[in-house]
Amino acid sequence: MQSLELYQLTQWVDKELVKTELLQKYTNLINVLNANVQRRNNHAIQPFEQQKKALLECVKGINMNMLSGSQLKSLNMAGMYENVGEKGFSKLIKIFSNIIDIAQVVAEISKMNSITVQWIQQNNALALAMKPFLNKTEYDYPEGHYLARVIFDNDAYVNSFEDLLGWSDEWRHITRGISIAINEQPDEVKLVGGGKGSFIVELTATGVFILTLGNIVKVTLDCMLKYRQLEMKTLELKKMKEDFLIFKDDFEEDATRLEDRKEKYRDHMKDIIFKGAKERIKGFNKKAEAEFRKAVSSLVDFMTKGGDVDCVIDDSTEEGDDILGTKEALKVDFAEIRALKECLSIEGECEPLKEEDE
């Protein structure tokens, strides 16, 4: 995660968790529930519907859309991801469904509260420590442009300048192909930053460009569900070859055949994705068809090798209606993209698919 990205996560915590008084709402509910647990037999149960409703509304209202994939991963590692937004709301509803055992409800809600308290304390300390060392605390790019991150990871790695040169050429094709297909100049896409680790490059582009890029990514991820099945089956056969040496040659042949099918399916994916993306572009530049096809092909290759694309959307509401409309569309698209990534386990370790029982 970039240092500025990390700092902005602390600002998100302040805005969405601290200023909404989430901890106070936890405390109010826990106090009433504890009073009910400790009541004497002849005392009536204190009503807590108001405190329950306040907590549910607060948790559900936490805006996750402006967080990047790296920031969401950070929440997940801290155990916070399942406690905020829609996931947190669903978790609380499930806890309240066991209302017969109030003590258990108190224990589970108290655990959520403790995780949140610790997370806020850590972020407050981090924000205080980081701010003096940052020369800027906001991303700076033209109005109507949005920030995207290209993550070179897994088999889409950058370990040398040779790798960097190769991927640079591929991403030149991607950005140029998309730009001219949507009737924009390729130099509208600006390289604004980069980081190391898995190697991350930051770029900005117009809303139309990022929406088009996001659409290709989304359809690619959707297609990759089947592609990943072939990939896992191939790995499974290669492992079986080592476990059953007597059938080594047979498993080798099977793995080779599956590898061929995987590549054929990837070519098929590219065709599906190209046609779908082309149809969604209003005023598609027909002269750019070949370059756009190359862009789609390069992006599919990048993602099937483990590369990733993410979008950073700020939460300001001071722009005009056109920009706000684009921003909302981006939020929806990239929320769907992250759900697909979660399904594919692209942001974690891929688990082999289990065979269904016959």
**Alpha helices, DSSP H, located in the chain:** 3-13, 22-37, 49-60, 69-77, 85-96, 102-130, 161-181, 207-243, 248-280, 289-304, 321-344
> Confidence class of residue 351 from pLDDT cuts 50, 70 and 90?
very low
Distance CA 298, CA 94 (A): 44
The number of beta carbons lying within 10 Å of the beta carbon of residue 161 is: 9
51 Cβ contact list (under 8 Å, min separation 6): 25, 28, 29, 32
The greatest distance separating any two alpha carbons of the chain, rounded to the nearest whole angstrom, comes to 82
Q: Give, in order, the Cα–Cα distances in Å from 106 to each of 27, 95, 223, 325.
A: 11, 9, 43, 42
* Separation between Cα atoms, residue 103 and residue 40, nearest integer Å: 14
- Using the predicted structure, report yes or no on whether residue 353 has a pLDDT greater than 50: no
Instruction: List, for residues 214-239, the tens digit of each pLDDT value.
Output: 888 888 888 887 777 777 777 777 77
With tokens 């890029």, the residue in question is 213
pLDDT band at 355 (very low <50, low <70, confident <90, very high): very low
Question: Are the C-beta atoms of 260 and 241 separated by less than 8 Å?
Answer: no
CA-nearest of 101, 86, 21 to 54 is: 21
Measured CA to CA, the distance from residue 3 to residue 137 in angstroms comes to 10
Read off the pLDDT of residues 172-188 as tens digits, 9 standing for 90 and up.
Answer: 999 999 999 999 999 88
Q: What is the pLDDT of residues 112-146, one digit of tens each?
A: 999 999 999 998 898 888 777 666 556 667 778 88
Which pLDDT score is estimated for 324?
Answer: 55
C-alpha 235/C-alpha 58 separation (Å) is 45
The per-residue pLDDT for 348 is 38
Phi-psi region of 231 (alpha: psi -120 to 50; beta: other; left: phi over 0): alpha
pLDDT for res 50: 93
| Encoded tokens for 273 | 């994705």
Tokens of 336: 């769907």
Dihedral angle, C-alpha 276, 336, 149, 217, nearest 10 °: -20
Distances (CA, A) of 105 to 94, 97, 99, 278: 10, 9, 7, 51
